Structure 1
Amino acid sequence: MASHVTAVFLAFFFVFSGSVAAIENFDYYYFVLMWPGSYCKQSSAGCCLPKTGKPELDFFVKGLFPYSTDGTALIDCNKSPFYTNEISDLESELLKYWPNIKCPSSEGKYLWRNTWNAYGVCSGLSEHDYFNKALELREKIDLLSIFNKNGIVSTDYADYSLANVKKAILGGIGASAAIRCSKNQWDESQVYEIYLCVDKDAKTIIDCPVLPVSNCDPRVVFGSFTYDMLKNVTSLTANPIRMRAMNSM
């Protein structure tokens, strides 16, 4: 009996101490927002309406990721389980701003579980606080409003200077951001993910100690995102030639 108790204690000790060490070693968060219009256009698979209904036509939360100052992500720190009932009061907001639009249609819960199991467990936050803080950051930043106020409107018929997109973000939130792009079906560089850095309090936007390397072209597309796109279709290839208005942004 004593040996069994000792074994259980040692297992708990190593898991707990490993988690504490990981939490102590992380220095900031990457808060990552994803533009769903770019997700829909980066492959012929398109995107699908979630089984839980329509999300918002806005940037989606991709995650709140703990990082160290050498640019290393902290993942899989412990085996703290994911419980859906812990975030039941947040579910309506998560379905709007943290949905799964991958085809075929599904729910978002497995996406939240995977993010928690990989990164949330390293955040030093409870499960509820982890998702709540991410939602609060999205609302506080309101990146789509910042874009619109600076004339960066989601459309398939214009492109924008990457430098001006970065300038708009800096002016809107007071800190630099990294922009990652993907290619749409017309081989254009499109705004896909925005990386912002957040202090360990999970609420204060800071300048990034390390910025991810941008893979964007000097001019980028900020394509449309509409509910009509949320279905499992390949019809996006039906209009391969477009006339684009010249944009000086």
Structure 2
Amino acid sequence: MKPNYSFLLKLLIAQCLALACASQGYDFFYLVQQWPGSYCDTTQGCCYPTTGKPASDFGIHGLWPNYDDGSYPSNCDSNNPFDLSQVSDLTSQMQVSWPSLACPSSDDTSFWTHEWDKHGTCSESVLDEHAYFQAALDLKAQANILQALENAGIQADGGLYSLTGIKNAIQDALGYEPWIECNKDASGQSQIYQIYLCVDYYGSSFIECPVFPNVGSCTSNLEFPTF
């Protein structure tokens, strides 16, 4: 009997598609929080949301699925776009903890849309839209970074603090090593910008980072700008 090449080709294509779908999984999350003073204190500047100036606290940038090799999936499901009605009960909390500082001023919805469409859809097999945003809010509450720094005498007063001291303050408070991303103020001074903490596959608990991101290298002494 001659082999059915058409059937074999279809089988091969199906297997390849299955592998492609599987490759959209992930291993862990980065919870990324940014200091608003450092976002605004650059040559680019910032715009406050239409709801007003955000609190002087670290705000969520995102909850990002990642692979253990340092790469990450993105934009995994265009058929499941952000739906504000799915998080209507979280909106007021998100406005406080997850504000947009991008220009022009907005009601934050475009920021949340971007984060869900690019990152959240890659974890939807574990966290649907509501669970995804709820997880990020819960994790931020667990990791009170500003309080951890203030307890170590590190204040958002425009002063300079050692990178080692900042890392140690967060690790002592949370039990896990963070990654610090820096940017530069308008005069070129390196400053605390974003804090990365690693989270387990289910988005529920902090873990030691399998790999740190290769972003925003810092000098040994950093500015902690006011906001």
TM-score normalised by the chain length of structure 1: 0.79
1:207-218, aligned counterparts within 5 Å? 207-213=208-214, 215-218=217-220
Partner of 1:63: 62
- Note closer, same or farther for the CA distance 1:18–1:39 as it changes in structure 2 (3 Å cut): farther
- Note closer, same or farther for the CA distance 1:160–1:71 as it changes in structure 2 (3 Å cut): same
What count of residue pairs does the alignment treat as equivalent?
209
Distance 1:22 1:92 in 2: 35
1:76-155, aligned counterparts within 5 Å? 76-79=75-78, 80-123=80-123, 124-155=126-157
Distance 1:190 1:160 in 2: 9
Deviation at 1:55, TM superposition (A): 2.2
Q: Which sections of structure 1, spanning at least 5 residues, go unmatched? A: 1-12, 226-249
Q: What SS class does the counterpart of residue 89 from structure 1 fall into?
A: coil
- Note closer, same or farther for the CA distance 1:58–1:17 as it changes in structure 2 (3 Å cut): farther
Deviation at 1:69, TM superposition (A): 0.6
Partner of 1:219: 221
Deviation at 1:103, TM superposition (A): 2.4
Partner of 2:6: none
Distance 1:204 1:22 in 2: 23
- Does residue 195 (structure 1) correspond to residue 158 (structure 2)? The answer is no
Are 1:190 and 1:222, in contact at CA under 8 Å, matched by a contact in 2?
yes
Q: Which sections of structure 2, spanning at least 5 residues, go unmatched? A: 1-13
Q: Deviations over 1:111-162 (max 9, x none)?
A: 1011111110001310001011000100110110001000110012x20010
Deviation at 1:54, TM superposition (A): 3.4
Q: Deviations over 1:193-234 (max 9, x none)?
A: 111100012121111010124500000011101xxxxxxxxx
Deviation at 1:73, TM superposition (A): 1.0
Distance 1:209 1:173 in 2: 17
Deviation at 1:53, TM superposition (A): 2.7
- Give the % identical residues: 39
- Which 4+ stretches in 1 moved above 3 angstroms? 16-20
Q: What SS class does the counterpart of residue 137 from structure 2 fall into?
A: helix
Distance 2:53 2:187 in 1: 27
Q: Deviations over 1:60-116 (max 9, x none)?
A: 100010011101111111121211000010000111111112222212001101111
Distance 1:18 1:34 in 2: 35
Are 1:19 and 1:77, in contact at CA under 8 Å, matched by a contact in 2?
no
Partner of 1:235: none
Report the RMSD for the aligned CA atoms in angstroms. 1.9
